[in-house]
Amino acid sequence: MPYRQDTTGQTGYFGAKIKDSSTGTAKYPATDSASAGTALATGFKTDDGNIAWRSGDPANGRLARIAEMYRNQKKASIGVVSTVPFSHATPAAFVSHNTNRNNYQAIAQEIITVSRPEVVIGGGNPNFNDPAGITGPAAYQYVDAADYAVLKGSTEYTFVERKAGVDGGTALSGAADAAAAGNKKLFGLFGGAGGSFEYHKPSNDGTSQVTRGSIENPTLADAAKAALKVLGKNRNGFFLMVEQGDIDWSNHANDYASMIGGIWDLNEAIKSIEAYVDQSGDDVTWDNTMLIVTSDHGNSYMRLAKDLAKGSLPKQNPINDGGAPTDYDRTVSYYYDPTEVTYGFAGKGVNSHSNELVTLYGKGAGLSQLAAYQGLWYPGTTIIDNTHIFKGMMGALGLTDDNRIKAN
């Protein structure tokens, strides 16, 4: 649904569930990561759950993604990095196709054997996904045993994975060095229970210190630097999508502290990417590189009721401690003093995406291509639709839209 320019009553607007059909289940008006990722990667709106696939799931509904168009038209390299499983919705939307985001094994197979990006770094390692280890029933949720074996025996990829007691950032950096030196691709398979990297833990004593969730997983900055080390070898250019997916998962749980840990991780990654572009001795400069930072959607309608002191967190109360209001959303993990923080459209918690505007930051070459879309659908504003981000990137890269050619 379009954004309300008149913010009067916006809580009711965002919080009113609607049906997408006469028989459908009423839901909050917001996208999921699959359809939002598809809009960013292809310029097409589609149904919730679709991965680079046209609305209605037609048999010939595959949509070309900006990464593959850049590779095919300009011989560029492509990569995806995420703190959630590599076959999850957002990375999948840029390097695979499927009518259902939950077809993780099929998506993983396409990534590993068909699209074969120059860099893939993410979660979903079968050794850690299930608490019982690789023999557990959920071990191969995100990549099946056969494709995991392909990765471990690959001569195309330098493969590195999470190992007990081994610093994931150090291991990934070494693998990136080896891949770059040997003109190979890089595949880093990490993650913990449930597929994602463990959440980073911010302090609550005013020091603003953050403790890594697990030393065995790289930070997002580690992963971004490793990806750039490999992708930057291609003088024709590269396209890299970097996702701090734990922010979304934290907000689903109304977990403020873990959300702050994710934002820290994202911020450090952005700084590392800027430092990469700033370094001398290579062809990558701000004159030929565009950096975009945004979110694909809002989540759980968090609001600060008062300014919190630097380095201080609100008190998080477990939802099952008996103190939450009876009408509080029981699918979340925490509730709060409403004079500090509220989640949900009525301040009673919510485990749902929201249709709020998100912030878009840009730096470097081609920003005029993005700026040209400001207010196009909303005159008098600077609002840019997610499909316009795709168009701005396409213009900056000088690409022809294969989907529009085929559609016509």
Q: What is the pTM of this model?
A: 0.95
Q: What is the pLDDT of residues 352-379, one digit of tens each?
A: 999 888 999 999 999 999 999 999 998 8
Number of domains in the chain: 1
User: Is residue 14 very low, low, confident or very high in pLDDT (cuts 50, 70, 90)?
Assistant: confident
Q: Is residue 26 part of a domain?
A: no
Range of the domain at 146: 45-285
Could you tell me if residue 384 is inside a domain?
A: no
User: Does residue 117 belong to any structural domain of this protein?
Assistant: yes
Is residue 221 assigned to a domain? yes
CA 241 from chain center: how many Å? 8
Q: State both tokens at 70.
A: 């850049």
| Tens of pLDDT, residues 70-126 | 999 999 999 999 999 999 999 999 999 999 999 999 999 999 999 999 999 999 999
CA distance 89 to 31: 12
Percent of the chain with pLDDT over 90: 88
Give pLDDT, residue 405. 78
Instruction: Please give the Cα distance from 213 to 199 (Å, whole number).
Output: 5
Would you say residue 310 lies in a domain?
no
Task: State the CATH number of the domain containing residue 104.
Answer: 3.40.720.10
Judged by DSSP in three states, 151 sits in helix
Residue at 68 is within a domain: yes
> If you ran DSSP here, which 8-state letter would residue 52 be given?
S
pLDDT (tens digit per residue) in 174-203: 999 999 999 999 999 999 999 999 999 999
Q: What is the predicted pLDDT for the residue at 378?
A: 87
Q: Is residue 217 included in any domain, yes or no?
A: yes
Has residue 406 got a pLDDT over 60? Answer: no
Task: State mean pLDDT over 25-36.
Answer: 92
Residue 339 has pLDDT above 80, yes or no: yes
Whether residue 298 lies inside any domain: the answer is: no
384-390 contacts, C-beta under 8 A, 24 or more apart = 384/360, 385/39, 386/36, 386/39, 386/40, 386/296, 387/39, 387/40, 387/43, 387/44, 387/45, 389/40, 389/292, 389/294, 389/360, 390/39, 390/40, 390/41, 390/42, 390/43, 390/66
